[in-house]
Chain A
Amino acid sequence: MGNSISLAGYTFVVEESKEISGEDLGLLQEKLLQLNWGVQHPASGPMRLKLWVDGDEVVKVDPDIGYVLRLLEKLVEYRTWINAVVNVERACFMDDFGTMAGYSIAAEKIAGVEVPKKADYVRTILCEGGRIVSHLIGLGSFVGVMGVHTPMQWALIAREKFLDAFEVYSGQRIATASIIPGGVRYEPTGKFIEKMISAVDFLEKEFIPRYAEVFIDNPTLKLRSQGIGVVPKEKAVELGLAGPALRASGVASDVRKDYPYAAYGELDFKVVTKEEGDAYARYLVLWEELIESAKIIRQAIEGLPEGEWRTKFPIKVPPGEAYVNVEWARGCFGFHLISDGGTGPYRLKMRAPSFANVWALPEIMKNVKLADVPVIFASLYMCHGDIDR
């Protein structure tokens, strides 16, 4: 193949078998090409989708993951109960608080330690801050894959305010290591609360009206994303979708509401759902959750109780196991933690939402146009650190 496309670096493989996904393609099979969408693609991140393309139409998709595998689950086995959080939080750098909170709750369950109420509230504030930070990038990158990079910059400006607040609280902007078994590591000082409120103010008064004016209900955006990658309610449950992608199909599944942890049981918020189940609905779910999260932070700051923020966590934890689900930014994150009575975890299994979403791709991306592949991919709101762990 001496044409210009092969010179550009794409590899085309003519399929040997005539049948693909149960259909006899007949003469078309000679046109069928394998396209590597990913690893170097600006929208893909560190993963690859093997796409079998017939002209402009995608016939078959095979996700190829494992490019950022860091063996986090194994590394946790070499840590003590407390310093294992530095591995757990690195599941994904965007919302590290959710994973740390889940691990800590699981460890506390085994050890039988009760956390002070103030720690619960601070965890709630931090988790929602992490969710906002993550959703902002999700919104920005969703419009970004269509070639408009302004919303990403706007989102990063709003995100910066939250990162400033995290720095005041814990000393680091991204890898905070601030939620540990037995509470939270630092006292929520007045300056942290002040910074958090100013960040939420900026989000609600500056970012949300300005962004809603241009990028929500945008006719061009709707043309590209409405009716694309539709997942009906029954199929979403069958595929095992998680998080905003599941809620956009009309399933009101939210661990914060169903099995409240931290201080979510005492706060008033609603679960955002959409009925359409297409890419645009998933985008809107992210958008409305952003507004909900800002409200939760305000409520939690108002109800912040006095008292201790950390209790003593034993060095050796009695044998036992616990399974804890938390509502992470990208969906339900499960932690199966086992203790054999030692100074550290015996085994930690993490059930990641993005990993569940990635295997729905072959079903969702059947018979779509090649140009819609990045739109569907970004709308499922996946994180690669979370897929590979």
Chain B
Amino acid sequence: MEAKEALKIPFEATKKVLRVTKALFAPKATEIWWDKGIKRELHYRGKHIINAELCIGCSMCARACPVNCIDMVPTGVKKPRAVPKVRANECIFCGLCEDACPTKPEKAIKLTDHYSMILEDVTWDRLTEYVFEPENLEEALEKAKKMEELLEKKKQEALKKKQQAQQAKAEAKKEQPSPEKESNPQKGSKGEE
């Protein structure tokens, strides 16, 4: 038995040496990922993107947020009345705001695969100032204002039309009695006849 075991020793040793040399030349298990622009998976919950053009200002996302980190900022236009602003320092990236958003087919508030959120000179004040705001807010507001102007124009036009119609009616009413007056004498004349 002992002789057999002694014979086994060099075999085992070479096996182990081979294993170690294999491991030495194997590809590295770790990799540098941050400059490769790696795309994360389908549902990855990273930085928020808020589309002010799609937002209807219903504040469902603010209600769904478990840590109350979404503020609704009033815009001054009627639609959207307010847009969400996410305090990134407090956000836990649960994605429940995205679930709650009722706009279809595209959500107004979405969690993207953008994961690098780097702040320089980090102080508490800067952290609290770090927010995700709607990117196209000004355009959306201009659009909304234009839409409102258009709507107002349309309304005014409609009003004018109404007024015109009313005036026309009134005129017609004014005009109507005159033919009546004209007709009355006719009738009267008829009656006279």
A residues touching B (Cβ–Cβ < 8 Å)? 79-80, 82-84, 86-87, 167-172, 175, 177, 185-186, 189, 191
Q: Are B99 and A185 in contact (CB under 8 A)?
A: yes
Task: Establish whether residues B96 and A177, one from each chain, have CB atoms under 8 Å apart when the complex forms.
Answer: yes
* Cα–Cα distance between A167 and B93 once the two chains are bound (Å): 13
Complex: A170 Cα to B40 Cα, angstroms = 12
Chain A residue contacts of B72, Cβ below 8 A: none
B111 closest partner in A (C-beta)? A171
Point out the residues of chain A lying under 8 angstroms from B94, CB to CB: 83, 86, 175, 177
Structural contact, A172 and B63, CB atoms closer than 8 A: no
By beta carbon, the residue of chain A nearest B46 is: A171
Q: For chain B, which range describes its interface: under 10, 10 to 19, 20 to 34, or 35 or more residues?
A: 10 to 19
Q: Would A171 and B66 be within 8 Å (CB), given that A83-B96, A177-B94 are in contact? A: no
Q: Is the interface of A mostly helix, strand, loop or mixed?
A: loop
> Are A79 and B66 in contact (CB-based, < 8 A)?
yes
Cβ contacts under 8 Å, B67 to chain A = 86
Interface residues of B (CB under 8 A from A): 40-45, 63-67, 92-96, 99, 111
User: What number of residue pairs across chains A and B have CB atoms under 8 A from each other?
Assistant: 47
Question: B97: nearest residue on chain A (CB-CB)?
Answer: A83
Closest beta carbon of chain B to A335's beta carbon, Å: 18
Q: How far is the CA of A80 from the CA of B95 in the complex (A)?
A: 15
Pairwise interchain contact B95-A167, C-beta atoms closer than 8 A: no
Determine which of B40, B43, B64 lies in contact with A186 in the assembled complex, contact meaning CB atoms within 8 Å. Answer: B43
Q: In the complex the two chains form, is B92's CB within 8 Å of A168's CB?
A: no
- Find out whether the CB atom of A171 lies under 8 angstroms from the CB atom of B43: yes
Is B64 a contact of A171 with CB atoms below 8 Å? no
* Complex-state Cα separation, A191 to B111, whole angstroms: 20
The answer to whether A189 and B42 touch across the interface, beta carbons within 8 angstroms, is yes
Taking CB atoms, residues of chain B closer than 8 Å to A80 are 63-64
Q: How far is the CB of A90 from chain B (nearest CB, A)?
A: 10
Smallest Cβ distance from B81 to chain A, in angstroms?
A: 22
Specify which of A82, A86, A87, A167 is in contact with B44 (CB 8 Å cutoff). Answer: A167
A191 pairs with B42, CB closer than 8 A? yes
